[in-house]
Amino acid sequence: MTLALDLVSWACLMLGAAFVVIGGIGLVRMPDFFTRTHPAGLTDTLGAGLILVGLMIESGWSLNLAKLAMILIFLLFTSPTASHALAHAALVSGLKPWTKPGADSEQNRSKP
Partner 1 sequence: MSPQFVIVAIAILATMGLAVSRAVVGPTVFDRILAANTFGTKTVLLIAVVGYLTGRPDFLDLALVYALINFIGVIAALKFIKFGHFADHRSESNR
Partner 2 sequence: MAHRISLFVSLATVWLLLSGHYTGLLLTLGAASCVVVIAISHRMDVIDHESHPIHLGWRLPGYWLWLLAEIVKANIDVARRVVDPSLPIDPRLFEVPAHQKTDLGRVIYANSITLTPGTLSTDVSRDKIQVHALSGAGEDDLRTGTMDAKVCALEGNS
> Which residue ranges make up the site for partner 2 (CB under 8 A)?
19, 22-23, 25-26, 29-30, 32, 34-35, 37-39, 41-42, 45-46, 63, 66-67, 70, 76, 79-81, 83-84, 87-88, 91, 97-100
The answer to whether 105 contacts partner 1 (rule: CB under 8 A) is no
3-class DSSP string for the chain = CCHHHHHHHHHHHHHHHHHHHHHHHHHHHCCCHHHHHHHHHHHHHHHHHHHHHHHHHHHCCCHHHHHHHHHHHHHHHHHHHHHHHHHHHHHHCCCCCCCCCCCCCCHHHCCC
The answer to whether 96 contacts partner 1 (rule: CB under 8 A) is no
Output the CA–CA distances (angstroms, integers) from residue 86 to 55, 90, 107, 109, in the order listed. 30, 6, 20, 16
Q: Which is nearer to partner 1, 67 or 102 (CB)?
A: 67
By CB under 8 A, name the binding residues for partner 1. 9-10, 13-14, 16-18, 20-21, 23-25, 27-28, 33, 36-37, 40, 43-44, 47-48, 51-52, 54-55, 58-59, 64, 67-68, 70-71, 74-75, 78-79, 81-82, 85-86, 89-90, 93, 95, 109, 111-112
